Structure 1
């Protein structure tokens, strides 16, 4: 049994035979980390010529040594060897000048339904496996500790088809998708030279929600590293087309109203027809208001396609991941993020990807998490990851350096 550093090609070959791993542990992510100036080590525990556990360990300089980390890993072929892998990584970190080693395992600590009710017991043994080796545990947390979520909203696509997808959404989600599809929103993947449009939307969203956005060059490096395994999707609308769609929709409603009126002329006391007449008349009035808005937008924007929202999706053989996104508040009424989600899920079905990961939610279920409410429209479930574990090969040196940094105000 030995811990060995693989080539990226050997590591990629190992991944091809695994069913459960994060995009953060792929060779594409290794390329991105390298572009960002980090050193990537594809580490593997091997016995009898077979890789039992492997993961991308990356390192970067910090005061007094190296910061080393495995994010959303390792990838486990045989759990019986996991402890040995952790010990090997500790030894590697110590021998190679690491001041701290961070682990963020991808294993699920507990599963929940879409409302946050537990559907499986907790797995405290996963935590004790690491703490018994000397790792310090940050604790089970909510929110986005360190900017990354421990709670993921997910959806199983394995038994769905293009025909049954919308039927699988929530009671609120089904009509929301139907309404969104009536607007004539266009969705397409951006080319590399168009990524400034993506960045413009995510920057506006980060300013509004007060979090730090990634710079444009990060998105460009991401595009270069992931290639066709990622889509920077843009949802846009043409207000002339939108106006035309509204006219068509209103005309159909007026035809329907005329038929109802004919029935009412024959049976004026029909409660059913009276109710239908009232409902269709109300819908026609809504279309009149929307047509007036569309005319104003046509004057303002002319014949151009106008960007509404953008999202980055990543594809692995077993999982589609919804990573970054943004939208413009002035166009909220078009629900463009909903259109992007449906588009991505349909592509996942075409690619036969069985699982969809919406990623982060707060992990609080008191109604305060707006991101959770949005994702619940698609009727998924929730998994909780363990969080962050820290190992200090030379704890005294680390403590002294941290004290010095505080004194210097760094």
Structure 2
């Protein structure tokens, strides 16, 4: 076998036949090559010139004269083949040294544990031989981190398995409240659409609300436009919204039905004034009419103050043949009662099923399963869909030039 730079078609053919992260893709490579020219495709071929390992990695300036490299959830290879792992990373070090590498961060898309929503381990993977192999090559494991990080990919993911399950089975596996909330979005005529890139600001307004609510700062609007350009063939901004004028029509129709029912109950009572069943129905119907009138009043008031179209929730989605990824998102807390986030998830779960994609990746959680976790609400929301938790092996850092890397670390 031998280490080599890969042609685009070689990389694409290999990735398309393996369960790779969305960042290891032709779209990602093509955009960075055209707009930044900071990307590399490398891999290993066997004696028959067949690709057996592939990796997209990018570079960034570091210490003025050197470069930092990152493998983007790569490389894509069989991490149980330690001979191949050793060969790839040993030669990657040589390759990066020729390209003025200072250090490299690599985060294999390799499972450490599968857990339930309470954090209990369901299935465990013995990665100690892999870690020892990596560290023997100078790739230092960064530990089993918990929480969010500004410098690396999240280590904990919430994932829903869609394989061999119908939509009805998926709904039944969800908890009662989640299933009920999805049903209510249909009753309220919540809709989902794909936003064109020109309307990224509609998403970003909702995303900013999430930043303010959770007290974090992530990216600006240009970043989300760039993501749509990178993954234009397999990425999109989805928006859940409601047309209050349509809802008002539906609510008035329901009120008319309730009033007709009340008249029928009155007729029954006139025929049989002592009927306890009819009396109970009459009282129940009056309460339903009162509640319905209140809903109508609320809708009419909201139309006057906020207009007819309400943007409820939005999210950035990227997908490949392997999984759908639910990435950055936001919602307007003023409109929580319309359950926009639930309808958004359900529509995209259906999208995955329609496209024969077996994994719906709710993406990052902190890995803190205590009641006081900063993302406890987020975890509960994802768990309601019957998602399990996947814990990944984490990061490895390799100083390519140890002395300069030590200086870099001190400055940093």
Q: TM-score scaled by structure 1?
A: 0.89
Q: TM-score scaled by structure 2?
A: 0.89
Q: Does 1:364 align with 2:372?
A: no
Quote the Cα distance in structure 1 between the aligned partners of 2:110 and 2:77.
9
Alignment RMSD = 2.5
Partner of 1:387: 394
Quote the Cα distance in structure 1 between the aligned partners of 2:391 and 2:283.
48
Partner of 2:11: 11
Partner of 1:114: 117
Q: Does 1:245 align with 2:273?
A: no
Partner of 1:68: 69
Provide, for residues 120-160 of structure 1, a one-character-per-residue CA deviation record: whole Å limited to 9, x for no partner.
Answer: 12424233332232222221011112363211000111122
Quote the Cα distance in structure 1 between the aligned partners of 2:306 and 2:342.
23
Alignment of 1:136-151 (within 5 A): 136-146=140-150, 148-151=153-156
Partner of 1:316: 320
Quote the Cα distance in structure 2 between the aligned partners of 1:265 and 1:53.
82
Partner of 1:87: 90
Aligned partner of 2:210 among 205, 219, 230: 205
Partner of 2:21: 22
Uncovered stretches (5+) of structure 1, i.e. residues with no partner = none
Structure 1 pair 269/204, CA: closer, same or farther in 2 (3 Å)? closer
Partner of 1:347: 351
Partner of 1:378: 385
Asked if the contact 2:235/2:317 (under 8 Å) is kept, the reply is: yes
Alignment of 1:136-285 (within 5 A): 136-146=140-150, 148-252=153-257, 262=268, 267-268=275-276, 274=280, 283-285=288-290
Cα deviation, residue 3, structure 1: 1.1
Structure 1 pair 401/143, CA: closer, same or farther in 2 (3 Å)? closer
Cα deviation, residue 35, structure 1: 6.1
Asked if the contact 1:240/1:302 (under 8 Å) is kept, the reply is: no
Describe the SS at the equivalent of 1:228: coil
Quote the Cα distance in structure 1 between the aligned partners of 2:125 and 2:79.
21
Quote the Cα distance in structure 2 between the aligned partners of 1:258 and 1:10.
73
Cα deviation, residue 97, structure 1: 1.2
Provide, for residues 3-30 of structure 1, a one-character-per-residue CA deviation record: whole Å limited to 9, x for no partner.
Answer: 1111222211111221x11101111222
Quote the Cα distance in structure 2 between the aligned partners of 1:219 and 1:67.
24
Quote the Cα distance in structure 1 between the aligned partners of 2:274 and 2:9.
77
Partner of 1:59: 59
Quote the Cα distance in structure 1 between the aligned partners of 2:383 and 2:225.
31
Provide, for residues 68-89 of structure 1, a one-character-per-residue CA deviation record: whole Å limited to 9, x for no partner.
Answer: 0112111125742222212221
Structure 1 pair 131/283, CA: closer, same or farther in 2 (3 Å)? farther
Structure 1 pair 265/5, CA: closer, same or farther in 2 (3 Å)? farther
Asked if the contact 1:32/1:221 (under 8 Å) is kept, the reply is: no
Cα deviation, residue 283, structure 1: 5.0
Aligned length: 400
